[in-house]
C-alpha cells in the first residue's frame, strides 16, 4: 500500500472517529436536552406558579397599598384641615396681638396723658391748697376777731347788767340809808344792818374751780391777790353764745388761802353756779 493509501485510510479512520464522536455527542446532547427541557418545563411551571403567586401577592399588596394610600390621603386631608385651622388661628392670634398692641399703645399714651394731667392737677392742688390755707388763715383771723368782738360784746353786756344790778343795789342801799336816817332822826332805837356788800379794795378776778351741791364754791384767787375772809365778789358767766352769758349774783368769801378761796352765794342767784363761772370784785 502506498503512502497515499495509508494517508487516506488514516484520514478515513479519523473521519469515522469524528462521525462517531458527533453521533455520541448528538445522543448525549439530545439526552441532556430532553432532561434540560423537562427541567426547564418544571422550572417554567414553578416560575409560572410563582408568577401567579407573585401576581396575587402583587394585587393584594396593591390593594393594601391603595387602602393605605387612601388612609394616608384621609389623614393628610385631616392634617391639612387642621393646618388650615391652625393657620386661621394663627392669623386670628396675630390680629388679636396687633389689636392688643394697638390697645396697649393707646393705654400707654392715655397713661402718659393721665400722668401729665395728674402732674398738672397736683400743681393745681398745691396752688389750691395754698389758697385754701390762706383762706383758712383769713377765716381763722375773722373767727378770732369775731370771737373777740363777741366776747367784748358779752363783757359789755355783763358790765351793763352788773352796772344795772349795782345801781339797783345802790338804790336799795340808799333807800335803806334814808330809812335808817329817818329812824335815827325820829330817835328810833333799832337800826337794820347794811346790805352786806364788802368788795376788796384791789381789782380781783377769778374763776370757779369747783362747785358742790351744798352751794360752796372753790375759787382760783386767794390772799396773794388781796382777797380776805368776809369780802364779797360778783358772780357772772361768759358763754360763746351771747344769749347764755349773764350775771348770776354775789358770793361771800368764807375761807381763804394764798392761792384759793371758798365762797358761798349771798342771797338769791339767777342760776346754779358751775365750774368755769367767773368772779370779780367789781363789774
Share of the chain above pLDDT 90, in %: 22
Per-residue model confidence (pLDDT) at position 192: 39
**b vs e for 194-213, b when ≥16 Cβ sit within 10 Å of the residue's Cβ?**
ebeeebbeeebebebeebee
- pLDDT tens, 219-256? 999 999 999 999 999 999 988 887 788 999 999 999 99
Calculate mean pLDDT across residues 95-109. 88
Are the C-beta atoms of 249 and 269 separated by less than 8 Å? yes
- pLDDT tens, 12-26? 888 888 888 888 888
CB-neighbour burial class of residue 92 (10 A; exposed 0-12, middle 13-18, buried 19+)? exposed
Per-residue model confidence (pLDDT) at position 119: 81
Which has more confidence, 126 or 236?
Answer: 236
Calculate mean pLDDT across residues 97-114. 87
Mean pLDDT of the chain: 81
User: Is pLDDT of 29 > 70?
Assistant: yes
In total, the chain counts a number of residues equal to: 283
CATH of 198-283, one of 1.10.10.60, 2.40.10.340, 3.40.250.10, 3.30.360.10: 2.40.10.340
> Would you tell me how many other CB atoms lie within 10 Å of the CB of residue 245?
19
57 — pLDDT class (breaks 50, 70, 90): confident
- Residue 167: C-alpha distances to residues 42, 96, 152, 160, 161 (Å): 170, 97, 22, 10, 10
Q: Which range has the top average pLDDT, 11-15, 54-58, 103-107, 233-237?
A: 233-237
> Would you tell me how many other CB atoms lie within 10 Å of the CB of residue 83?
11
126 — pLDDT class (breaks 50, 70, 90): confident
Per-residue model confidence (pLDDT) at position 193: 38
Look-up of cell digits 455520541 = 24
- Residue 130: C-alpha distances to residues 121, 122, 136, 137, 140 (Å): 14, 12, 10, 10, 15
User: Is pLDDT of 116 > 80?
Assistant: yes
Going 50 to 52 to 56 to 62, the CA torsion angle's sign is positive
Per-residue model confidence (pLDDT) at position 161: 66
Per-residue model confidence (pLDDT) at position 234: 94
Per-residue model confidence (pLDDT) at position 58: 82
Are the C-beta atoms of 211 and 245 separated by less than 8 Å? no
3-state DSSP helix/strand/coil percent for the chain, to nearest 5? 65, 15, 20
188 — pLDDT class (breaks 50, 70, 90): very low
User: Is pLDDT of 106 > 80?
Assistant: yes
Q: How far apart, in Å, do the first and last CA atoms of the chain sit?
A: 211
Amino acid at each position: 500500500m502506498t503512502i497515499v493509501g495509508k494517508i487516506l485510510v488514516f484520514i478515513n479512520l479519523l473521519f469515522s472517529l469524528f462521525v462517531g464522536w458527533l453521533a455520541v455527542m448528538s445522543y448525549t446532547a439530545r439526552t441532556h436536552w430532553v432532561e434540560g427541557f423537562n427541567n426547564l418545563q418544571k422550572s417554567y411551571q414553578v416560575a409560572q406558579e410563582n408568577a401567579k403567586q407573585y401576581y396575587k401577592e402583587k394585587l393584594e399588596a396593591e390593594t393594601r397599598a391603595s387602602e393605605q394610600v387612601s388612609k394616608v390621603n384621609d389623614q393628610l386631608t385631616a392634617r391639612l384641615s387642621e393646618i388650615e385651622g391652625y393657620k386661621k388661628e394663627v392669623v386670628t392670634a396675630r390680629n388679636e396681638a396687633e389689636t392688643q398692641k394697638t390697645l396697649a399703645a393707646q393705654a400707654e399714651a392715655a397713661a402718659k396723658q393721665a400722668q401729665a394731667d395728674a402732674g398738672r392737677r397736683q400743681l393745681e392742688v398745691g396752688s389750691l391748697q395754698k389758697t385754701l390755707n390762706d383762706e383758712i388763715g383769713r377765716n381763722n383771723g375773722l373767727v378770732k376777731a369775731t370771737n373777740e368782738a363777741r366776747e367784748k360784746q358779752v363783757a359789755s353786756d355783763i358790765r351793763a347788767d352788773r352796772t344795772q344790778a349795782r345801781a339797783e343795789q345802790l338804790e336799795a342801799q340808799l333807800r335803806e340809808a334814808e330809812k335808817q336816817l329817818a329812824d335815827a332822826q325820829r330817835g328810833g332805837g333799832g337800826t337794820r344792818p347794811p346790805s352786806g356788800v364788802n368788795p376788796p379794795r384791789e381789782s380781783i378776778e377769778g374763776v370757779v374751780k369747783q362747785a358742790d351741791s351744798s352751794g360752796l364754791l372753790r375759787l382760783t384767787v386767794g390772799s396773794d391777790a388781796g382777797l380776805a375772809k368776809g369780802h364779797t365778789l360778783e358772780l357772772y358767766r361768759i358763754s360763746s353764745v351771747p344769749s347764755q352769758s349773764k350775771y348770776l349774783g354775789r358770793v361771800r368769801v368764807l375761807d381763804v388761802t394764798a392761792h384759793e378761796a371758798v365762797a358761798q352765794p349771798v342771797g338769791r342767784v339767777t342760776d346754779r353756779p358751775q365750774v368755769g363761772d367767773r368772779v370779780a370784785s367789781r363789774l
